[in-house]
Amino acid sequence: MKTYQVSREGYYGEFGGAFVPEILHRCVEELRNAYLNVMESDSFKQEFHSLLRDYVGRPSPLYPAKRLSDKYGCRIYLKREDLNHTGAHKINNAIGQALIARRMGKKRIIAETGAGQHGVAAATVCALMGMECVVYMGKTDVERQHANVQRMKMLGARVVPVTSGNMTLKDATNKAIRDWCCHPSDTYYIIGSTVGPHPYPDMVARLQSVISEEIRKQLLEHEGRDYPDYLIACIGGGSNAAGTIYHYLDDGRVKIVLAEAGGKGIDTPLSAATIHLGLPGVIHGSHTLVMQDEDGQILEPYSISAGLDYPGVGPMHANLARQHRATVLAVNDDEAVRAAFELTRLEGIIPALESAHALGALEKLRFRPDDLVVLTVSGRGDKDMDTYMKEMKSEKQE
């Protein structure tokens, strides 16, 4: 049977694999041998699900958005990951990986972060579990995302500003990998999305799959059927999207729409639309689509949203696009901002800028009145208020 899930060797079609320096082979092997056994053990499942319920606040609601539905002429449900503790879906993954790390006997946690959301999730979980936490963050991002840096510090994490390259997420990730190389035996690297060497993309997708597990149950309660016609999510590395679609990957009744960050437009140099613009290559241990020039130099991505500003994409998503299982739309900065204001005014929900890209996909699709649409709101917009206020001001002046 054709499947869009990972193969035993860690591949999604031609994408995936584990391309790591010699010194990390053992670490990645160790994790690969451990992760499924740990995740399928009763003790892990019980601890993970208790924390998701009592600490994160799951299940997150599946909210029928009446006024938004009227606007687009279909029936839209919002999966409210914005209501999770720490404000986004990232906490699901951070808790799961910290529990895996503990069961592997690791004492020290490292993480990379761009906008700071994953750093905050990792720091939160380390405080909860009493583990040491070091977060690598590009110096540019440290300056841009000051509030999240403060949160991480208050939570007890050490935030290391990275000054190589453009001083953003890609450089922070390189630095985290280098740290891992120096401390392979006691350190666990919590990657924040469905990227990196196998088994990370599959492990993160499984940890986030609680989202689609809940969607199935909640749709059945609301609608008497457990699948939608459309699933819509934004993609940076791809973890909230992977969680949203996980249980529907091989269900042909469900159309999958992924929104990547168009930036100023895919025909300009300022974009982060990796699936539209990328070519096959290796980034951070995975063979996937990468934004690169003719010499294979990685190009600096741009998006108004710091969480989508990554020059690679998860191998699962590269394959879904290649196989035409998913429709991938590039949603530009202005379209995302407009969609964020629209949701706010129609439903009283201020979404994260990342999630606003998923909302921006709605106007690019043609629905029938009885279409059931589930759209994941990956996070809340508190962290983006400065950007939203700037956009509101410039709109008024026009």
Residue with tokens 């949603």: 331
Structure tokens at 54: 């009592």
Determine the interface stretch with ligand PLP among 46-54, 326-334, 347-355, 367-375 (rule: CB under 6 A): 347-355
Dihedral angle at the C-alpha atoms of 162, 309, 278, 29, nearest 10 degrees? 60
Residue number with CB closer to ligand PLP (228 or 236)? 236
- Report d(CA 354, CA 262) in Å as an integer: 12
Is residue 262 within the footprint of ligand PLP (CB under 6 A)?
no
Single residue of 17, 201, 237, 285 touching ligand PLP by CB under 6 A: 237
Instruction: Quote the longest CA-to-CA distance of the chain.
Output: 59
Residue number with CB closer to ligand PLP (109 or 316)? 316
393 is catalytic: no
Determine the interface stretch with ligand PLP among 69-77, 128-136, 218-226, 239-247 (rule: CB under 6 A): 239-247
Which single residue brings its beta carbon nearest to ligand PLP?
379
Single residue of 60, 84, 193, 288 touching ligand PLP by CB under 6 A: 193
Active-site annotation holder among 90, 106, 175, 383: 90
Structure tokens at 77: 């449900």
Residue 158: count of CB within 10 angstroms of its CB: 13
Residue number with CB closer to ligand PLP (371 or 379)? 379
Is residue 218 within the footprint of ligand PLP (CB under 6 A)?
no
# chain residues binding ligand PLP, by CB under 6 A = 19
Is residue 360 within the footprint of ligand PLP (CB under 6 A)?
no
Residues 282-321 that bind ligand PLP (CB under 6 A): 307-308
Active-site annotation holder among 193, 212, 239, 378: 378
Q: Kind and range of the H or E element at 65?
A: none
394 is catalytic: no
Single residue of 16, 119, 236, 312 touching ligand PLP by CB under 6 A: 236
Single residue of 97, 140, 187, 355 touching ligand PLP by CB under 6 A: 355
Is residue 239 within the footprint of ligand PLP (CB under 6 A)?
yes
Is residue 90 within the footprint of ligand PLP (CB under 6 A)?
yes
Residues 48-67 that bind ligand PLP (CB under 6 A): none
Q: Can you name the residues that pair with 197 across neighbouring β-strands?
A: none
At its nearest, how many Å lie between ligand PLP and the CB of residue 192? 7
- Report d(CA 74, CA 72) in Å as an integer: 6
Counting DSSP H helices and E strands in the chain, the numbers are 16, 14
Residue number with CB closer to ligand PLP (274 or 371)? 274
Q: Which residues of 111-132 are buried (b: 16+ CB within 10 A; e: fewer)?
A: bbbbbbbbbbbbbbbbeeeebe
Is residue 379 within the footprint of ligand PLP (CB under 6 A)?
yes
Single residue of 6, 100, 234, 245 touching ligand PLP by CB under 6 A: 234
Active-site annotation holder among 60, 106, 112, 305: 112
213 is catalytic: no
Question: Could you tell me if 231 and 255 are in contact, meaning their C-beta atoms sit under 8 angstroms apart?
Answer: yes
Q: How far apart are the first and last CA of the chain?
A: 55
Residue number with CB closer to ligand PLP (193 or 209)? 193
102-141 footprint of ligand PLP as x/- string (CB under 6 A): ---------------x------------------------
Structure tokens at 358: 């998923």
Is residue 206 within the footprint of ligand PLP (CB under 6 A)?
no
- Report d(CA 362, CA 340) in Å as an integer: 12
Residue with tokens 């508190």: 382
H helices of the chain, in order, are 25-40, 42-51, 66-72, 90-103, 117-129, 139-144, 146-154, 169-182, 200-208, 210-223, 239-245, 274-277, 315-322, 333-347, 353-360, 385-397
Measuring CA to CA, which residue among 122, 112, 62 is closest to residue 86?
A: 122
Task: Name the residues that contact ligand PLP, by CB under 6 A.
Answer: 88, 90, 117, 193, 234-241, 307-308, 352, 354-355, 378-379
